[in-house]
């Protein structure tokens, strides 16, 4: 998505941050990415709640939902696209200690562009990079995403849409920019994220909606062998909603099993 975004910094039109902002210096902050459809952000309340939760986990004071909504309204978005909400701890002196009187920086950015409106089948690869285990940050969508950046740099093939990430103990965690689900013997499974990884809102939505639809759902450890043994492999994020994996290495899934119904659950 190459269009120039509309951006606000602390409610004012701007495209730059202070050089000493701790989001730049240390990745000291959190963010969320939202799918916008005809000017309406999908799962707005849930995304704001998740952003607030992550901020509180890092002892960041998060602006109220009303302030975020006012910022979004200021952009006067009427089309589809991608919205990113970012919160940093703001400017601070050199060094790791929190500023004595932090003034958080909030950033709202919108990129216009049509969103995928159908279930896509994609090819993925296994990444060489292994995620570090850090339970204090597990599940949090913090600004330090260098592991994901390096993992995404592992491939340049146009036909590969996503990479699968494992942790240092060879447990499957997620995609580079998505959460992972497998379907096996009538059970929908997704990796446990108590040591690393990001708990995306699309993941939470699918867990809830699949259970409501009567499916058995498990959050558990998943091995590489579990991936190759699965009857279907799927990935979720807030923009694509859900992808079905058609190929991983030499393993192919030619026929959808449950993904079309789960797509409808998420798209509703």
The CATH number assigned to the domain holding 83 equals 3.30.470.10
What does the block give as tokens for 254?
């030619």
Picking from 86, 112, 138, the residue at the C-terminal end of a domain is: 112
**Number of domains making up the chain:** 2
4 burial (CB, 10 Å; 0-12 / 13-18 / 19+) is exposed
pLDDT in tens, 243-261: 999 999 999 999 999 999 9
Q: Are residues 93 and 155 in the same domain?
A: no
The answer to the question of residue 1 being in a domain is: no
Average pLDDT over residues 3-25: 92
In the prediction, which pLDDT does 5 show? 86
Is the pLDDT reported for residue 144 higher than 90? yes
Q: Are residues 85 and 136 in the same domain?
A: no
Q: Are residues 136 and 46 in the same domain?
A: no
The answer to the question of residue 260 being in a domain is: yes
Centroid of chain to Cα 145: 11
Q: Are residues 143 and 61 in the same domain?
A: no
Question: Which are the contacts of 183, defined by CB distance < 8 A and separation ≥ 6?
Answer: 189, 230, 231, 232, 233, 234, 257, 258, 259
Distance between CA atoms of residues 244 and 226, nearest Å: 16
Read off the pTM: 0.95
Compute the mean pLDDT over every residue in the chain, rounded to the nearest whole number: 96
Q: Are residues 161 and 103 in the same domain?
A: no
Among 113-117, 152-156, 175-179, the least confident range: 113-117
In the prediction, which pLDDT does 267 show? 87
Average pLDDT over residues 158-170: 97
Picking from 51, 82, 112, the residue at the C-terminal end of a domain is: 112
The answer to the question of residue 196 being in a domain is: yes
> 61 and 29 in contact (C-beta within 8 Å)?
no
Closest CA to 2 of 153, 117, 156, 111: 111
Is the pLDDT reported for residue 194 higher than 90? yes
Is the pLDDT reported for residue 41 higher than 90? yes
Range of the domain at 54: 6-112
In the prediction, which pLDDT does 117 show? 86
Confidence of residue 2 (pLDDT cuts 50, 70, 90): low
Percent over 70 (pLDDT), the chain: 99
Picking from 112, 136, 152, the residue at the C-terminal end of a domain is: 112
The answer to the question of residue 68 being in a domain is: yes
Q: Are residues 108 and 136 in the same domain?
A: no
Sign of CA dihedral 17, 20, 21, 23: positive
Distance between CA atoms of residues 268 and 263, nearest Å: 9
């Amino acid at each position: 998505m190459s269009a120039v975004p509309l951006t606000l910094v602390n409610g004012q039109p701007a495209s730059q941050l202070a050089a000493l902002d701790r989001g730049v210096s240390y990745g000291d902050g959190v963010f969320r990415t939202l799918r916008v459809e005809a000017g309406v952000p999908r799962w707005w309340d849930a995304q704001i709640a998740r952003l607030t939760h992550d901020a509180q986990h890092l002892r960041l004071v998060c602006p109220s939902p009303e302030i975020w909504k006012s910022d979004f309204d200021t952009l006067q978005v009427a089309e589809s696209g991608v919205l990113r909400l970012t919160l940093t701890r703001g400017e601070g002196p050199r060094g790791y200690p929190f500023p004595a009187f932090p003034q958080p920086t909030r950033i709202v950015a919108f990129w216009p562009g049509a969103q995928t409106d159908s279930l896509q089948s994609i090819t993925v690869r296994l990444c060489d990079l292994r995620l570090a285990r850090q339970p204090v940050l597990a599940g949090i969508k913090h600004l330090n995403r260098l592991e994901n950046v390096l993992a995404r740099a592992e491939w340049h093939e146009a036909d590969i849409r996503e990479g699968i990430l494992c942790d240092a103990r060879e447990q499957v965690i997620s995609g580079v920019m998505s959460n992972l689900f497998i379907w096996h013997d009538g059970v929908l499974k997704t990796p446990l994220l108590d040591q690393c990884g990001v708990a995306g809102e699309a993941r939470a939505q699918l867990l809830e909606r699949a259970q409501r639809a009567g499916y058995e759902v498990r959050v558990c450890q998943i091995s590489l062998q579990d991936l190759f043994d699965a009857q279907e492999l799927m990935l979720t994020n807030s923009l694509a909603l859900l992808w079905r994996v058609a190929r991983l290495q030499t393993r192919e899934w030619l026929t959808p099993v449950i993904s079309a119904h789960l797509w409808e659950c998420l798209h509703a």
